[in-house]
Structure 1
Amino acid sequence: MTKESYRPVVAVAGATGTQGGAAARSLLDQGFRVRALTRTPGSAAAHALRALGAEVHAADFDDRTSLEAALRGADGLFAMSTPFGSHPDTEARQGIDLLEAARGVGHIVFTSAAHADRGTGIPHFESKYRIERHLRGLGVPWTILGPAAFMDNYTVEWSLEGLREGRFVLPMPPDRPLTLIPSRDIGAFAAHVLARPQEFAGRRIDIASDELTCREIADALTGVCGRPIVFERLPVAHVEAFSADLAAMFRYFTEVGLDVDVEALRRDFPETGWQRFATWAAERTWPAC
């Protein structure tokens, strides 16, 4: 194989999840060989990635040997960590173990969270920042991406329940701007970075595709649903009853906010095709509508 025909190999952690799956698809579209790392190699999502040309490798965040085997010889790694369903300390440990297993990888892109490096006090932001600090001292070329709030969260059952009643519900003021990003754009920008590792080495970039108030989000959902959707502010105490972590996040969004320069990203990296919320929503199927 000549140097010109060599296709770099990128391992993708959490490849059968929303964010990792988006990264895997974007990397495949750009001609990379993709190793999809997953605990569920027999799942429908894993089979879908195989059909697109990915190699699926069984790997578990709690099994260092499986991680090392899956990462051996890889040119790059899309790394992520998952806070929910576990304790933030568990997220940090698993993320650091993944990085340690990737010491021989050529370039690591880690998706953290916007503002995670600013002392937010949000537990799952702080755990990601612990992973960031470890990555910086690992001795491997790296790039850190900090996605803003996920548009994809509005398609989960908790949000759909409100939409069925004509309500878009969040524990935030109606006119407080919120920066947003879909998983598709996270994956597309990560692939852009991995295609140009020298350009992005040692950089931390917060990313978002749009900025809207909660009232404007409700208006956009009105457009795709074809019936009125009104914004309703949920008391943050209701969120705290089941997750102090999420409550801390929404307090931060309300009191400080996520100041990601959306227009600069659109100007500097047009290849990503950053999706406005209305465009993203129009491409979805909304069973609650």
Structure 2
Amino acid sequence: MSPQQNLILVTGATGKQGGATARRLLADGRAVRALVRDAQAPAAQELAAAGAELVVGDFDSPDTLPTALDGASGLFVVPPAAFGPRGWDVELEAARGEALVDAARRAGVEQIVFTGIASIGDDTSWGATGKKRIEDAIAASGARYTLLRPVRFMENYLLRTSPVDGIIDGVHRHLFPADEPMKVIALADIGDIAARAFADPEGFDGRVLELAGDAITPPAAAAAISRTTGHQVRYQEISEADADALGGEIGNTWRLLRHAGGWIADVEQIREIHPGLRTFDTWLDETGAAQITALLDSDTVRTSR
């Protein structure tokens, strides 16, 4: 089957970045095929109800990829991450991504948009090695391509099980220096920018975009959350020793944030590409405050029982 100009295969479609991108593409009238492991999962069914075509496949089952890619002209790739107790499994992550890119090349996919991770000092300490190998494979594939490298998600305030991040007992605990701006981006903006790239393949071809939507100190972010949710939230900067205790890569990241100048993303550069780029306050007003409030209200009810 020859590629359909309007059809885009979205990987990670039931997750954060893939989901945001699939919804944006569907809203723009693009044909979306979502790669899912379980077509009956609620998130998959929500995409189907929104108009996406579902195809069952898995990075670890390479024989499912040609069918998923058949007829697609575009591919959105979320890195098939492999993170465990010992940190990033670089070889597994890279092999998964490289296999997908090779399948896309064989299928005649004309454009690939990949979302990885923002640059910060020595990338090998920040889980980027496998992603860089996937980026290299994409650049060598012959397809038009755009590489997105987002910073920390604003939605990470909703995390509940991470050793750092989220809000637990009124505290946002993280690696970031309390007195320096913390760069963040809304998931919806990643989807918006990916959709822009698919809408303008030539204009975005070969571009590497470090994505950030705002830069705000962690205490200022906590104050904004307190103001908009009615729950008092404070920021706690963890120590270097505590970061090291959570794992070597987390300890390395703690040091990189202080000694390598932080993420290199330029907010104003991204705003020129996407004028509707959300600030942290915009995200809170749109969806963030309501979601955080629901979580913190639930915590209050549970602890009062």
TM-score clears 0.5: yes
Q: How far did residue 123 of structure 1 move?
A: 4.8
1:54 is matched with which residue: 47, 52, 55?
Answer: 52
Q: How far did residue 84 of structure 1 move?
A: 2.9
Listed as ranges, the matches of 1:160-199 within 5 Å are 163-199=167-203
The one-letter code matched in structure 2 to 1:220 is: A
Q: Is the 8 A contact 1:122 1:248 kept in 2?
A: yes
Q: Is the 8 A contact 2:228 2:284 kept in 1?
A: yes
Q: How far did residue 231 of structure 1 move?
A: 1.4
CA separation in 2, counterparts of 1:235 and 1:83? 27
Which secondary structure state, in structure 1, belongs to the residue aligned with residue 127 of structure 2? Answer: helix
Which secondary structure state, in structure 1, belongs to the residue aligned with residue 180 of structure 2? Answer: coil
1:280 is matched with which residue: 283, 287, 291?
Answer: 283
Corresponding residue of 1:100: 102
TM-score (structure 1 length as normaliser) = 0.90
Q: How far did residue 7 of structure 1 move?
A: 6.2
Q: How far did residue 259 of structure 1 move?
A: 2.5
Q: How far did residue 162 of structure 1 move?
A: 6.8
Which secondary structure state, in structure 1, belongs to the residue aligned with residue 124 of structure 2? Answer: coil
Q: Is the 8 A contact 1:161 1:288 kept in 2?
A: no
Corresponding residue of 1:229: 233
Q: How far did residue 177 of structure 1 move?
A: 1.5
CA separation in 1, counterparts of 2:22 and 2:165? 30
Q: Is structure 2 residue 91 aligned with structure 1 residue 89?
A: yes
2:72 is matched with which residue: 74, 82, 87?
Answer: 74
Q: Is the 8 A contact 1:178 1:253 kept in 2?
A: no
1:201 is matched with which residue: 197, 205, 209?
Answer: 205
Q: Is the 8 A contact 1:83 1:124 kept in 2?
A: no
CA separation in 1, counterparts of 2:243 and 2:37? 30
2:124 is matched with which residue: 121, 126, 129?
Answer: 121
Corresponding residue of 1:265: 270
Q: How far did residue 214 of structure 1 move?
A: 1.2
Which secondary structure state, in structure 2, belongs to the residue aligned with residue 204 of structure 1? Answer: strand
What whole-Å deviation, never above 9, does each CA across 1:52-104 have from its counterpart, x for those lacking one? Answer: 00001011001111111101110100011124346222111111111111111
Which secondary structure state, in structure 1, belongs to the residue aligned with residue 264 of structure 2? Answer: coil
Corresponding residue of 1:3: none
CA separation in 1, counterparts of 2:182 and 2:114? 23
The one-letter code matched in structure 2 to 1:149 is: R
Superposition misfits of 4+ residues, deviation over 6 angstroms: 159-162
Distance 1:40 1:235, change over 3 A: farther
Which stretch shifts more, 122-131 or 179-188?
122-131
Distance 1:80 1:205, change over 3 A: same
CA separation in 2, counterparts of 1:123 and 1:262? 21
TM-score (structure 2 length as normaliser) = 0.86
Distance 1:92 1:212, change over 3 A: same
Q: Is the 8 A contact 1:143 1:200 kept in 2?
A: yes
Corresponding residue of 1:145: 148
Which secondary structure state, in structure 1, belongs to the residue aligned with residue 231 of structure 2? Answer: coil
